[in-house]
Structures are given as C-alpha cells and as structure tokens.
Amino acid sequence: MIIIENTLVSENIVDKKFVCDLSKCKGECCVAGDAGAPLEESELPILEELYPYYKEYLTPEGIKAIKKHGFFVVDDDKEFLTPMVSKEKYCAYVYYDGDIAKCAIEKAFFEGKIKFRKPISCHLYPVRITQLRDVDAVNYHQWDICKCACELGEKKNVPVFRFLEEPLKRKYGEEWYRALEAAENLRKL
C-alpha cells in the first residue's frame, strides 16, 4: 500500500499495466454489470443542469430511463449511481459510435458544449475509490472484460496510473500525482 495524503493507494496501480482498447472491448465497462457507475454527491446537480447539452447524444432508451429514474439512483448501500436502461442493458448516459459504447456527457464535453467531462468514477476506471472514514482507498478493479486493455498496457508498458494521469490529477491534484510518481521511482530502486 502506498500512502499519499489522505489516500491509501494499491500497489497494483503502479505495478499493473493498462491501456483501453475500445476497438476490442467496445466500451463494455459502460454496458456490463447490474448497476450503474458510482457518482459523487457533488456531481448530481451537474448531471441535471447539463442535460440539455448532452441529451441529443443519448439513445432513446437512455432518455426514457432518465425520465423514469432521474439523473441518478440510490442503491441499497445509499450510494449514488448512474441510472441504467435496464438491469441487463447499459448506462443511461451511453451513446453508440458504431458498435462502441461511449459517454454522451463526454461527447458534449469534447464538442465544447460543457466543461464537465464525465463522472469522475467513469473517468478513473479501472480505478475505483472507496471512502474509509477519513481516507480514500484507491484500488485497481480487475475485470475480465478489460483483458484486452491489460494486454495492450503490457505491450506498451503503461502502468495503470500513467494511463489515468489526467483523471487522477482531476481527482487529487498535481502534487498528489507527483507523489505517486515518486513512489513508483522508489519502488524501482
């Protein structure tokens, strides 16, 4: 475990390799599973406020799911999650670029319509953060649907944290990220 400020960082984030390979996985992390992506409470009003800007990219089923469930759902553990089209389907915020599932919110961001890229848990994936009292546990979530990303990461020799530099800085800041780089350098000695 690597300790940086108020975080406990799994060594897998430094040791494991990862580079998304959308041509192979088809964005399956936005589709698979029986629940939506985790949301921070601060993101809830943002999703509603920006809806007019990303709505045009949503699937008709996604729009229906948002109308039915709202911009977020609350699970049994009182966690906020993105709504799903259905338990067997995909996140309500998905759109399809050919056969690849992508984020409609992020599409609006890339087109310059909004300044919010997408929920931080989605931006950070395959890293998952668990709040433990006064600290965040920052862990690598290994999922078989990301096997091709692990293979590409190995081929390109890109550690998880390097692949996720932008979202990690977004979440924790530049200094935190530099401390993680320093921890990686110490591990190499």
d(CA 61, CA 85): 6
Residue 178 predicted with pLDDT over 70: yes
Q: 63-110, pLDDT tens digit by residue?
A: 999 999 999 999 988 999 999 997 667 899 999 999 999 999 999 999
- Lookup result for tokens 């800007």: 53
Q: What is the mean pLDDT of the chain?
A: 93
- Lookup result for tokens 């406990």: 8
CB 16 within 8 A of CB 164: no
Q: Tell me if the pTM is above 0.75.
A: yes
Residue 14 CB-half CA count within 13 A: 19
Q: 96-106, pLDDT tens digit by residue?
A: 999 999 999 99
Q: What is the pLDDT of residue 157?
A: 96
d(CA 50, CA 9): 32
Residue 31 predicted with pLDDT over 90: no
What's the pLDDT band for 187 if we cut at 50, 70, 90? confident
